[in-house]
Every structure is written in structure tokens, then in C-alpha cells.
Structure 1
Amino acid sequence: MSVRPWRDIERRKCRQIMVGDVPVGGDAPITVQTMTNTPTSDAKATIDQIRACEEVGADIIRVSCPDVESTSAFGLIAKAAHVPLVADIHFHYKRALEAADAGAACLRINPGNIGSSARVAEVVRAAKANGCAIRIGVNAGSLEKDLLEKYGEPCPEALVESALDHIKLLQDHDFHEFKVAVKASDVFLAVAAYHALAETVDCPLHLGITEAGGLIGGTVKSSIGMGSLLWAGIGDTIRVSLSAEPMEEVKVGFEMLKALGLRTRGVRVVSCPSCARQGFDVIRTVETLEKRLEHIKTPMSLSVLGCVVNGPGEARETDIGLTGGGKGKHMVYLSGVTDHHVESEDMVDHIVSLVEKKAAEIEAGISEAA
């Protein structure tokens, strides 16, 4: 394949930290995060939701710890999780101490909200003793009063200044295992703040467009904001904030990274929007295939095109291709080459079988190479 320099993304250079056993920053893959929405005090419900998030590929999962009942359950939850957990702490520093002792891999805090320097020092000591990282979470909706008075409204300068103030609080206590987010629900504000912060600090950056909205609106908004940052090489870990189940956040996050060629996981589907030329119901076929192929973790590509206008061209670029034909017979492509026909009634089962077989072949090849 020819070199395509116009597709290259040069990631911002930054130092690396560890969140549990997951590296963040440096040359590590960009991680995908989400957050549970079950009551943390209900350990079983929270563990079940974590399992579902792990199944769709979540690298790191955040769990809110608003009260002592939550941190009491956190230890059991952390032991059951297969990925590192971030304890979400806002105002009460003791919740941070309890979560660190209970197995949190990272504490999400605003050091300025914790209280006195002595309390920040206690949180830092607990983090160091338990090998916790810290995520500084600056949000346009909860900026400090003095910054709002200084700037008049949330703006990129205010977000960055807040982040730098919080960073200094940690560095004053000789703590450097931190990552930073400067989130806003306004796409322009968030993107400008992240660009400014990226030029100022060398720590990993956690990307997010906060309170982005529902599944469709929030996906679009997040993709515009986070996508532009990722394309510019900014961002080391991401969370897509949606008013939807956390598993959907993970799926959208991976789709975003796949579209930019920054991560590969599962089947990347190339499909047409359908029209009167279609030889089969493209929309329903793609919906069914996406659901039935969710269990595939091996990176590969599948094209599903309703007719022969663009079908052959797209199929040449994918591992497996399907192009609609006449009289209920459709062409199947393997590695970009026409291979055989399939009848409409057998089409979905046949494509699923081909994808599963291809995934097994790829995995076997990886194992042999290792």
C-alpha cells in the first residue's frame, strides 16, 4: 500500500503514568474510559455493570464515591474488576483516603476542592502508599469563584489557570503521577482549553466534552470536539460522556479511535446509506451484523454495500465484502477479491461465519508469530 502522509497523526509527546497496570501517555495506546451509573453502595449491580463495560473493551472504569457506604463497597468492587478503577471524589478528602486504601488505581479529584494543604498532603500520602495515580478534573461548570470573578465567565484561560493551580498543589507535595482534564460542554471552549494546556504541561491529558447529551447528539458533539483534538495529536485517554448506558460510551470511544486509525478493536463496518438500487435491506442487515459481531475483538474490516456502484471499490479495501446483486444473489469478496455468491436468506449467517473464521485465522497467526 502506498504511503499516505496526509493520514499521519503525530501524537503530542508527554510523560507516561500508570493507572493500575494500564500505561497512560507516552507511546501507550489511547485508552477508552467510562463511568458506572449504578449506586456504588450496591456492589453487585456495580460489578455487573463493570463486567458489561469490560466486555465491550473498557480499559479503565470510573466509579463515583460520594459517601462512606460507597467507599465501603469499593474494596469488593475493585477486587472483582479486571480493569483499573478510578474513584471519583469531589469534596470530602476522607473518601479519597478510603478509596485509595480500598484498591483504587486512580483518584479523580480537584485538589482545590479537597480543602487545606494539610488535607491535600494526606490524599497525596494515601495515593503514594497505595500506588494510585490522580486525575485532576477541571470543569467549566464548577470553576473557582476567584477565576470567574477574574475572567467574567468560563474561558480557555480560566480553565488552564485552574488546572495549573491544581497541578501546583500536587507538585508542592512532590506528587507527579497525574493526568489532567479541562472539560466543558461547549465544544469550542473545551477544544481551545485543551490546545492551550497541551502547550503548557508535559503530563497526560484526559479528553472529554462534558454533559455532551444523549446517544446521538452527544456522540456527534463528542466526535467533533474530541475528534479534532485527537487528529491534532492531543489526548492520551478519553471518556465519551453520554446520557446513555456506559457500554455505549465505550463503543463510541472505540469507533472514534478506529475512524482516526489510533486504535483497532473489533470489526470496522463500511456500509452505504442505502437507496432504491439496493439488492437487500442494507439498514436492517448492518444493524443485525453489528449486534451479532459485537463479540469479535480481533481488528478487521467488513464492507456491506447494497449495489455494485461503489461495492466492488469498497470491497477491495476490506477483509470481507458483501455487494448486493439481483434476484436475491449477492457477491462476497474475500481480501478484496470476488469469491462467491450468497443467497439473501443465508446472507447474515454466512457473513457472521466468515468473520468468525477470519478472526480465528488472524488470532492463530498472531499466536504463531509470538
Structure 2
Amino acid sequence: FDGHVGEIAKAAKAAGVSIRIGVNAGSLDPRLMEKYGKATPEALVESAVWEASLFEEHDFHDFKISVKHNDPVVMVRAYELLSERGDWPLHLGVTEAGPSFQGTIKSSVAFGALLSKGIGDTIRVSLSAPPAEEVKVGSQILESLNLRPRKLEIVSCPSCGRAQVDVYKLANDVTAGLEKLTVPLRVAVMGCVVNGPGEAREADLGVASGNGKGQIFVKGEVIKTVPESEIVATLIEEANRLAAEMDPALVGSPQVVVKDK
């Protein structure tokens, strides 16, 4: 590779394209593996800095760097060290993160730790799942860090002893009914009269359920009380009404947030 950097840089310049210098724990230079014994943060960074210097020697600077590892702790430390070595654009990623649930947790932990410190310019969520799921997870991570405008957010309580309705089903049914909604809207689905009114009042739209009925809140005010069987349909109807009053150009997808008791 080292002997071909000049040709690669020249071709990239001519085509007007950028390059990602991708260092991966699974394909680290054998010389560095021998030096460090394994793919340590220091080994990943040494490889990245060396490869960056080769392109810079040919006056090519239109690149970003990734130092990926399947262990989020190692990955985070590698990016921290790399950010101290130079001001290159950094592409974050946990490689081979695993199935959807496990990979989402790994990526969320790693990206949150780095992006909250201002480290990282682009991200890639790698899951053993359809690509659309990777994009969805990445978008939600950025929204959670306020690095991307928040869209539809469904706040729901856990199913504790105070819940007088099936909160899981209620939250899932509301989410399914609003999955195509494309505007920023906070919807609270609460299952009791203890925390329910407070959470529902703080949301754009919400319900506090109990005793076979639900109080529907809009912008902090109770607008009606409906039977439990009509809660989902009422929330969907009110959400669509509120959405119609907003900018239709805003886009997003639902997220479910489980609130602590």
C-alpha cells in the first residue's frame, strides 16, 4: 500500500473525491501486531497517523480517519488519542458490533462518550441487521445528543404496580399509529395518575390513564376524558391535528423513551 499512495492521491485529486483512512482491529498491520501484541488503542492510532502522513506527503488532505474496534472501550480510547495527535476529520464506528440489540448498545455507549466531548465528525452504526435499521439507530443517537433536531418522541412509563392500563401495548399501538408522522412532537403515554398528569402536561400531547379512562392533555391543558378503549385513537387523531399545524417539511421517525418511575 505504502508504495501506491502517490498514485491513489493523484487519482483522488483528479476525480475530486475524498478518502477514508480506515484502520480496523481485524486487519491491523502485522508489524504493529508484533510490536503491541494485539490491537491496542495505541496500535490503531499509530497505524492511522502513519497512513495519514503518507497522504500528506503527497499534498493530499481531503481525507477522514476511522480507528474501529469491536470493543467500545478500546475504540473510545483510540479516538481520544487520535484526536490529540491532529485535527483530522474523524469517522466513528464500532466494528462488528453484533446483532441489533447488542450493537445498538455498543454504538450508543461509544458514540455518546466521544460526541459529547466534541470528538467525531461522521458516524457509522454497524449491525447484523438491515441497513435501514443502522440508519435509524444512528439518527436516534444523534437526536439523543441534540446533534440532530429531535422529531417525534413518544414518552412512556414502565409497567410498575401503579399502572392501571397495559402501558406496553398502549405505547406500541400509539407508536405504530404515528410511525409516518414527520414533525417534531412529544407524546406522553402514561399509565397512572401519580406521575401521569405531570408528564402529560409537559408534552405537546399526552394521556394520564387510570380507572378505565384517560385524561387527554394538549399543550399542558386537559381537553377531554375518554374511555380506555378510545385512548389510542384519540391520541392519534390529536397528534395528526397538531402535526397539520406544523411545517410539513420537517422529517423524522418515532422513538419510544421509557421514563423512570
TM > 0.5: yes
User: Secondary structure of the equivalent of 1:362?
Assistant: coil
1:306–1:323 CA contact under 8 A, matched in 2: yes
For 2:238 and 2:6, the matched residues in 1 are separated by 57
1:232 aligns with 2:114: no
Residue 199 of structure 1 deviates from its aligned partner by 1.7
- 1:145-170: CA deviation from partner (whole Å, max 9, x where unpaired): 11111111111111111111111122
| Equivalent in 168, 173, 183 of residue 58 of structure 2 | 173
| Equivalent in 134, 137, 140 of residue 19 of structure 2 | 134
For 2:243 and 2:20, the matched residues in 1 are separated by 36
Q: Which residue of 2 aligns with 1:152?
A: 37
1:261 aligns with 2:149: no
Matches within 5 A, 1:311-350: 311-327=196-212, 329-350=213-234
Matches within 5 A, 1:1-370: 115-117=1-3, 119-327=4-212, 329-363=213-247
- 1:63-94: CA deviation from partner (whole Å, max 9, x where unpaired): xxxxxxxxxxxxxxxxxxxxxxxxxxxxxxxx
Q: Which residue of 2 aligns with 1:28?
A: none
User: Secondary structure of the equivalent of 1:199?
Assistant: helix
- 1:259-315: CA deviation from partner (whole Å, max 9, x where unpaired): 222212431121112134323221122223323323223222111111122112222
Letter in 1 for 2:195: N
Residue 239 of structure 1 deviates from its aligned partner by 1.5
Residue 244 of structure 1 deviates from its aligned partner by 1.2
Do the aligned partners of residues 353 and 235 (structure 1) sit closer, same or farther apart at CA in structure 2, a change above 3 Å counting? Answer: farther
Do the aligned partners of residues 265 and 246 (structure 1) sit closer, same or farther apart at CA in structure 2, a change above 3 Å counting? Answer: farther
User: Secondary structure of the equivalent of 1:180?
Assistant: strand
Structure 2: gaps spanning 5 or more residues: 251-261
Do the aligned partners of residues 131 and 294 (structure 1) sit closer, same or farther apart at CA in structure 2, a change above 3 Å counting? Answer: farther
Q: Which residue of 2 aligns with 1:36?
A: none
Letter in 1 for 2:239: V
User: Secondary structure of the equivalent of 1:189?
Assistant: helix
Residue 365 of structure 1 deviates from its aligned partner by 10
Q: Percent identity?
A: 49
Structure 1: gaps spanning 5 or more residues: 1-114
User: Secondary structure of the equivalent of 1:135?
Assistant: strand
Q: Which residue of 2 aligns with 1:70?
A: none
Q: Which residue of 2 aligns with 1:64?
A: none
Residue 364 of structure 1 deviates from its aligned partner by 6.4
Do the aligned partners of residues 175 and 218 (structure 1) sit closer, same or farther apart at CA in structure 2, a change above 3 Å counting? Answer: same
For 1:206 and 1:297, the matched residues in 2 are separated by 28
After superposition, the CA RMSD in angstroms is 2.0
